[in-house]
Protein backbone atom coordinates (compact mmCIF):
# COMPACT_ATOMS: atom_id res chain seq x y z
CA UNK A 1 0.00 0.00 0.00
CA UNK A 2 1.01 3.58 -0.54
CA UNK A 3 2.99 5.52 2.03
CA UNK A 4 1.97 8.54 4.01
CA UNK A 5 4.60 11.24 3.65
CA UNK A 6 5.21 14.68 5.09
CA UNK A 7 7.85 16.55 3.08
CA UNK A 8 9.24 19.99 3.83
CA UNK A 9 10.07 22.37 1.00
CA UNK A 10 12.37 24.98 2.44
CA UNK A 11 12.47 26.99 -0.83
CA UNK A 12 15.12 29.77 -0.80
CA UNK A 13 15.26 30.05 2.97
CA UNK A 14 17.95 29.56 5.62
CA UNK A 15 21.70 30.15 5.45
CA UNK A 16 23.81 27.03 5.77
CA UNK A 17 24.23 27.29 9.59
CA UNK A 18 20.50 27.99 9.99
CA UNK A 19 19.64 25.06 7.75
CA UNK A 20 21.91 22.64 9.62
CA UNK A 21 20.36 23.76 12.91
CA UNK A 22 16.82 23.27 11.61
CA UNK A 23 17.65 19.82 10.21
CA UNK A 24 19.21 18.84 13.54
CA UNK A 25 16.12 20.01 15.41
CA UNK A 26 13.77 18.02 13.17
CA UNK A 27 16.02 14.97 13.42
CA UNK A 28 16.14 15.23 17.22
CA UNK A 29 12.36 15.60 17.45
CA UNK A 30 11.87 12.49 15.30
CA UNK A 31 14.14 10.46 17.57
CA UNK A 32 11.80 10.70 20.47
CA UNK A 33 8.71 9.87 18.48
CA UNK A 34 7.54 7.06 16.28
CA UNK A 35 6.19 8.88 13.23
CA UNK A 36 3.26 7.29 11.38
CA UNK A 37 4.52 8.64 8.08
CA UNK A 38 7.78 9.05 6.18
CA UNK A 39 9.35 12.43 6.84
CA UNK A 40 11.49 14.22 4.26
CA UNK A 41 13.13 17.64 4.05
CA UNK A 42 13.89 19.22 0.67
CA UNK A 43 16.53 21.88 1.08
CA UNK A 44 18.71 24.26 -0.98
CA UNK A 45 21.50 22.61 -3.00
CA UNK A 46 24.15 24.35 -0.90
CA UNK A 47 22.90 22.56 2.23
CA UNK A 48 22.53 19.00 0.98
CA UNK A 49 25.94 17.50 1.74
CA UNK A 50 26.21 19.11 5.18
CA UNK A 51 22.70 18.15 6.22
CA UNK A 52 23.26 14.63 4.97
CA UNK A 53 26.04 14.37 7.55
CA UNK A 54 23.94 15.44 10.52
CA UNK A 55 20.68 13.54 10.06
CA UNK A 56 19.71 9.91 10.60
CA UNK A 57 18.42 8.86 7.21
CA UNK A 58 16.34 6.10 8.79
CA UNK A 59 14.30 8.82 10.44
CA UNK A 60 14.49 11.67 7.97
CA UNK A 61 14.77 11.62 4.18
CA UNK A 62 16.68 14.30 2.30
CA UNK A 63 15.90 15.88 -1.05
CA UNK A 64 16.70 18.75 -3.39
CA UNK A 65 14.16 21.28 -4.63
CA UNK A 66 15.05 20.97 -8.30
CA UNK A 67 17.66 19.48 -10.64
CA UNK A 68 18.92 20.27 -14.12
CA UNK A 69 17.53 18.75 -17.31
CA UNK A 70 21.05 17.81 -18.44
CA UNK A 71 23.52 15.32 -16.97
CA UNK A 72 26.57 17.59 -17.11
CA UNK A 73 28.43 20.13 -19.17
CA UNK A 74 28.35 23.82 -20.02
CA UNK A 75 25.25 24.87 -18.08
CA UNK A 76 26.60 27.54 -15.75
CA UNK A 77 24.84 27.62 -12.41
CA UNK A 78 22.88 24.40 -12.87
CA UNK A 79 23.00 21.37 -10.57
CA UNK A 80 22.51 17.92 -12.08
CA UNK A 81 20.68 14.86 -10.77
CA UNK A 82 23.98 12.90 -10.37
CA UNK A 83 25.37 15.83 -8.33
CA UNK A 84 22.29 15.81 -6.08
CA UNK A 85 22.51 12.04 -5.66
CA UNK A 86 26.23 12.27 -4.80
CA UNK A 87 25.39 14.32 -1.69
CA UNK A 88 23.34 11.47 -0.25
CA UNK A 89 19.96 13.01 -1.10
CA UNK A 90 17.35 10.58 -2.39
CA UNK A 91 14.42 12.84 -3.31
CA UNK A 92 13.94 15.80 -5.64
CA UNK A 93 10.99 18.15 -6.02
CA UNK A 94 10.21 18.67 -9.71
CA UNK A 95 7.72 20.97 -11.41
CA UNK A 96 6.97 23.15 -8.42
CA UNK A 97 4.68 25.97 -9.54
CA UNK A 98 7.33 28.54 -8.61
CA UNK A 99 9.73 26.85 -11.03
CA UNK A 100 7.05 26.68 -13.72
CA UNK A 101 6.01 30.29 -13.17
CA UNK A 102 9.30 32.14 -12.51
CA UNK A 103 11.77 29.98 -14.40
CA UNK A 104 9.68 28.97 -17.37
CA UNK A 105 9.78 25.23 -16.76
CA UNK A 106 7.76 23.41 -19.37
CA UNK A 107 6.43 19.88 -19.43
CA UNK A 108 9.13 19.05 -21.96
CA UNK A 109 11.92 20.14 -19.59
CA UNK A 110 10.19 18.34 -16.75
CA UNK A 111 10.11 15.07 -18.66
CA UNK A 112 13.88 15.34 -19.05
CA UNK A 113 14.32 16.13 -15.35
CA UNK A 114 12.12 13.23 -14.27
CA UNK A 115 14.10 10.87 -16.51
CA UNK A 116 17.43 12.03 -15.05
CA UNK A 117 16.11 11.87 -11.49
CA UNK A 118 14.96 8.27 -11.97
CA UNK A 119 18.21 7.31 -13.73
CA UNK A 120 20.05 8.52 -10.63
CA UNK A 121 17.82 6.79 -8.10
CA UNK A 122 16.21 10.01 -6.92
CA UNK A 123 12.51 9.85 -6.08
CA UNK A 124 10.73 12.73 -7.81
CA UNK A 125 8.11 14.64 -5.84
CA UNK A 126 6.25 15.91 -8.88
CA UNK A 127 4.00 18.95 -8.40
CA UNK A 128 0.80 19.80 -10.23
CA UNK A 129 -1.84 22.42 -9.55
CA UNK A 130 -3.99 25.14 -11.05
CA UNK A 131 -3.78 28.91 -10.70
CA UNK A 132 -6.63 30.97 -9.25
CA UNK A 133 -8.08 31.89 -12.62
CA UNK A 134 -8.30 28.21 -13.56
CA UNK A 135 -9.96 27.38 -10.24
CA UNK A 136 -12.50 30.16 -10.81
CA UNK A 137 -13.25 29.35 -14.45
CA UNK A 138 -13.70 25.66 -13.64
CA UNK A 139 -10.87 24.33 -15.82
CA UNK A 140 -8.84 22.95 -12.88
CA UNK A 141 -9.41 19.26 -13.53
CA UNK A 142 -8.40 19.67 -17.15
CA UNK A 143 -5.29 21.68 -16.21
CA UNK A 144 -4.06 19.11 -13.71
CA UNK A 145 -4.80 16.21 -16.07
CA UNK A 146 -2.78 17.94 -18.76
CA UNK A 147 0.18 18.48 -16.38
CA UNK A 148 0.12 14.77 -15.51
CA UNK A 149 -0.19 13.62 -19.12
CA UNK A 150 2.49 15.95 -20.46
CA UNK A 151 4.95 15.64 -17.59
CA UNK A 152 4.69 11.99 -16.56
CA UNK A 153 2.58 9.78 -18.76
CA UNK A 154 5.51 8.98 -21.04
CA UNK A 155 6.81 6.79 -18.18
CA UNK A 156 6.31 3.04 -18.02
CA UNK A 157 4.07 1.75 -15.21
CA UNK A 158 7.16 0.57 -13.35
CA UNK A 159 8.77 4.01 -13.60
CA UNK A 160 5.57 5.80 -12.66
CA UNK A 161 5.42 3.63 -9.55
CA UNK A 162 8.49 5.49 -8.27
CA UNK A 163 6.86 8.94 -8.43
CA UNK A 164 5.37 10.84 -5.49
CA UNK A 165 2.79 13.40 -6.55
CA UNK A 166 1.97 16.69 -4.88
CA UNK A 167 -1.22 18.58 -5.65
CA UNK A 168 -0.57 22.22 -4.90
CA UNK A 169 -3.26 24.68 -5.92
CA UNK A 170 -1.17 27.74 -6.75
CA UNK A 171 -3.72 30.05 -5.14
CA UNK A 172 -3.12 28.32 -1.81
CA UNK A 173 0.70 28.44 -1.81
CA UNK A 174 2.11 30.85 0.73
CA UNK A 175 -1.17 32.75 0.79
CA UNK A 176 -2.61 31.40 4.03
CA UNK A 177 -5.59 30.32 1.92
CA UNK A 178 -5.74 26.53 2.18
CA UNK A 179 -7.91 24.43 -0.08
CA UNK A 180 -10.67 22.93 2.04
CA UNK A 181 -10.24 19.27 2.85
CA UNK A 182 -13.15 18.54 0.50
CA UNK A 183 -11.54 20.49 -2.35
CA UNK A 184 -8.28 18.61 -1.77
CA UNK A 185 -10.04 15.24 -1.62
CA UNK A 186 -11.99 15.98 -4.81
CA UNK A 187 -8.80 16.73 -6.76
CA UNK A 188 -6.79 13.89 -5.22
CA UNK A 189 -9.52 11.41 -6.15
CA UNK A 190 -9.55 12.84 -9.67
CA UNK A 191 -5.76 12.47 -9.92
CA UNK A 192 -5.97 8.87 -8.72
CA UNK A 193 -8.69 8.13 -11.27
CA UNK A 194 -6.58 9.69 -14.02
CA UNK A 195 -3.61 7.49 -13.00
CA UNK A 196 -5.87 4.44 -12.94
CA UNK A 197 -7.08 5.12 -16.48
CA UNK A 198 -3.50 5.24 -17.70
CA UNK A 199 -1.67 2.69 -15.52
CA UNK A 200 -4.37 0.58 -13.87
CA UNK A 201 -5.80 0.27 -10.39
CA UNK A 202 -2.78 -1.18 -8.64
CA UNK A 203 -0.42 1.62 -9.68
CA UNK A 204 -3.07 4.23 -8.83
CA UNK A 205 -3.70 2.77 -5.39
CA UNK A 206 0.02 2.64 -4.65
CA UNK A 207 0.76 6.26 -5.60
CA UNK A 208 1.21 8.71 -2.71
CA UNK A 209 -0.50 12.03 -3.45
CA UNK A 210 0.50 14.86 -1.11
CA UNK A 211 -1.39 18.10 -0.62
CA UNK A 212 0.53 21.39 -0.57
CA UNK A 213 -0.53 24.98 -0.02
CA UNK A 214 -0.70 26.64 3.41
CA UNK A 215 -0.80 23.29 5.18
CA UNK A 216 -0.14 23.83 8.88
CA UNK A 217 -0.58 22.02 12.22
CA UNK A 218 -4.11 23.39 12.60
CA UNK A 219 -5.47 22.05 9.29
CA UNK A 220 -3.21 19.04 8.60
CA UNK A 221 -5.24 16.44 10.49
CA UNK A 222 -8.46 17.24 8.59
CA UNK A 223 -6.64 17.14 5.25
CA UNK A 224 -4.79 13.90 6.05
CA UNK A 225 -8.01 12.25 7.21
CA UNK A 226 -9.30 12.34 3.64
CA UNK A 227 -8.94 8.97 1.92
CA UNK A 228 -6.93 10.18 -1.07
CA UNK A 229 -4.71 12.68 0.76
CA UNK A 230 -1.52 10.81 1.66
CA UNK A 231 0.37 13.61 3.34
CA UNK A 232 1.68 17.07 2.65
CA UNK A 233 4.32 19.15 0.92
CA UNK A 234 5.00 21.89 3.41
CA UNK A 235 6.54 25.29 2.70
CA UNK A 236 6.31 28.00 5.34
CA UNK A 237 5.39 25.68 8.20
CA UNK A 238 8.49 23.54 7.51
CA UNK A 239 10.81 26.39 8.49
CA UNK A 240 10.38 25.76 12.20
CA UNK A 241 10.86 22.33 13.71
CA UNK A 242 7.90 22.74 16.02
CA UNK A 243 5.32 23.55 13.34
CA UNK A 244 6.76 20.95 10.96
CA UNK A 245 6.54 18.31 13.69
CA UNK A 246 3.00 19.48 14.44
CA UNK A 247 2.11 18.45 10.90
CA UNK A 248 4.02 15.13 11.14
CA UNK A 249 2.03 14.39 14.28
CA UNK A 250 -1.25 15.01 12.46
CA UNK A 251 -1.02 11.39 11.27
P1 LIG B 1 3.31 26.77 1.65
O2 LIG B 1 4.12 26.20 0.40
O3 LIG B 1 3.13 25.62 2.61
O4 LIG B 1 4.17 27.86 2.20
O5 LIG B 1 2.00 27.27 1.12
C6 LIG B 1 3.91 24.90 -0.09
C7 LIG B 1 4.77 24.67 -1.30
O8 LIG B 1 4.92 25.58 -2.12
O9 LIG B 1 5.32 23.57 -1.49
Nearest CA to ligand 1 atom 1: 235
The band of 175, judged by pLDDT with boundaries at 50, 70 and 90, is confident
pLDDT at position 186 over 90: yes
Nearest C-alpha to atom 7 of ligand 1 is from which residue?
235
For the entire predicted model, the pTM comes to 0.98
d(CA 234, CA 60): 15
Q: What percent of the chain has pLDDT over 90?
A: 96
Compare 161 and 174 and report the one with higher pLDDT.
161
From ligand 1's centre to the CA of 168, what distance in Å? 8
Query: Is 168 marked active-site?
Result: yes
Is position 58 annotated as part of the catalytic site?
A: no
Q: Which of 65, 96, 98, 105 is catalytic?
A: 96
Strand partners, 231: 5
Amino acid sequence: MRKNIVAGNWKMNTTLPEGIKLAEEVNAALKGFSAKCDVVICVPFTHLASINNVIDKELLGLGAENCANHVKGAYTGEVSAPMVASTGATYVILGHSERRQYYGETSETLREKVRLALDNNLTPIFCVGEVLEERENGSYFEVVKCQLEEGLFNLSAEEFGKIILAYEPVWAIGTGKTATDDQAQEMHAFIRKTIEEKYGKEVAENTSILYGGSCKPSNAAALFAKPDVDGGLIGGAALEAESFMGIVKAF
